[in-house]
Structure 1
């Protein structure tokens, strides 16, 4: 469902800039989402192709912050492009909220490109965060909870000044803390990367049925499946709907705007 009637003076909205998993879908970006609230525009995740997609809908000069849930390339690699845009256009530095260890990873990326370690400092002021370290950007408050992934990752409950809530799973395996975090939120943006269940062993992503279980038990008003392979999108949505028939579940589709609490 798309609703592009957000009132920028009072509303809270999510726009999908990229919903691909680590292997990008054709002509799409990996993880990237634009959050808007009064006086606030936050880029949540900055994966491959994120900045090009952002430029279709908003200027980087509108951003009040960038938030990255974890330091895997499909969630942060376009910080290089955003850094160049901010630096070359002479924009003020952006607050950049990173998981624990994130600033050190960015310095390592700069070294790997044979650039100065402070390459990213020209555009960003980094702020590490994690569970127990909530933060705010403008009208939005962020509550992080440690996800279950093969690197430090944070699920986020994001609340505006009117109490409207968006929960973002980040990349994660199914875990009980996500049910609690998402309980009765207005919109759940949840990953459904694994089109089929892993054969055995540890896994770090959810199947559509596992994502639907979170929705069934947390009872958000609406749920969007994201971080998916387009080849399996229809089947993933069918599986999720079968696992939680009473839930309002749809796919996150690039370009769509969803008004939180509408």
Structure 2
């Protein structure tokens, strides 16, 4: 059985006592860390041993989704663990090299801990025994929404950070669990749209009809209103907040 554990559900500004984007996808074949934002490794250690990870997948290289790769790198080096497969968008390796240089630690700082692999929109690929499909999302950097399918056919979809785009509902159609960001508490009046609001998220949820929709990447101060606004627009689909520590079964 595959499950999803919420490690960090905050938006770019961490909620009190919480980590930013980080989720643990546990399948019979491997534990896959999805995102590794601020505070992720410390939060992960409340629930699982980071040494047991089989792979890490990052959807985009914004700090609230990847900065705790520094801490994960240190954990693996200190404990003399083998290099861990790290799946990054095509811009990712250059970002890691630049980060190592910016910290004064050298471009190869992450090399002892990670075996970096890149992915792109297109053909499915395997991560820890799970089949992954990536679709480029609508964000202000290269980012992907992803769908995990386990060997039994159960599907988990993660929107990543994105404005609304038509392909998101298609990717999420019929998923057992849809993990969807709702960062904007209300629809912005104008300007570029790089995140979802309740109306946008509900539009995706209502079209995709997943078994469960989990709202993530939210600010604690507006979370209850975001949940109520979203759920009211897509009756018949269970809609909940993604809360740190909770485990959700992903099964057909």
TM norm structure 1: 0.95
Match of 1:83 in 2: 73
Taking the aligned partners of 1:67 and 1:161, their CA distance within structure 2 comes to 18
Match of 1:7 in 2: none
Report Cα offsets for 1:183-211 as digits up to 9, x if no partner.
01100000000001111021100002211
Deviation at 1:136, TM superposition (A): 1.1
Taking the aligned partners of 1:224 and 1:261, their CA distance within structure 2 comes to 15
1:169 matched to 2:162? The reply is no
Match of 2:234 in 1: 244
Deviates more, 1:216-225 or 1:130-139: 130-139
1:116 matched to 2:102? The reply is no
Q: Spell out structure 1 runs of 4+ moving beyond 6 A.
A: none
1:180 matched to 2:170? The reply is yes
Taking the aligned partners of 2:116 and 2:124, their CA distance within structure 1 comes to 15
Match of 1:21 in 2: 11
Equivalent in 20, 28, 32 of residue 22 of structure 2 = 32
3-state SS, counterpart of residue 84 of structure 1: helix
Taking the aligned partners of 1:27 and 1:133, their CA distance within structure 2 comes to 38
Equivalent in 34, 41, 54 of residue 51 of structure 1 = 41
Match of 2:223 in 1: 233
Structure 2 gaps, min length 5: none
Q: Give me the CA root mean square deviation.
A: 0.9
3-state SS, counterpart of residue 57 of structure 1: coil
Asked whether the equivalents of residues 187 and 199 of structure 2 are also in contact (C-alpha less than 8 Å), the reply is: no
Match of 2:139 in 1: 149
Taking the aligned partners of 1:132 and 1:232, their CA distance within structure 2 comes to 36
Taking the aligned partners of 1:203 and 1:39, their CA distance within structure 2 comes to 37
3-state SS, counterpart of residue 161 of structure 2: coil
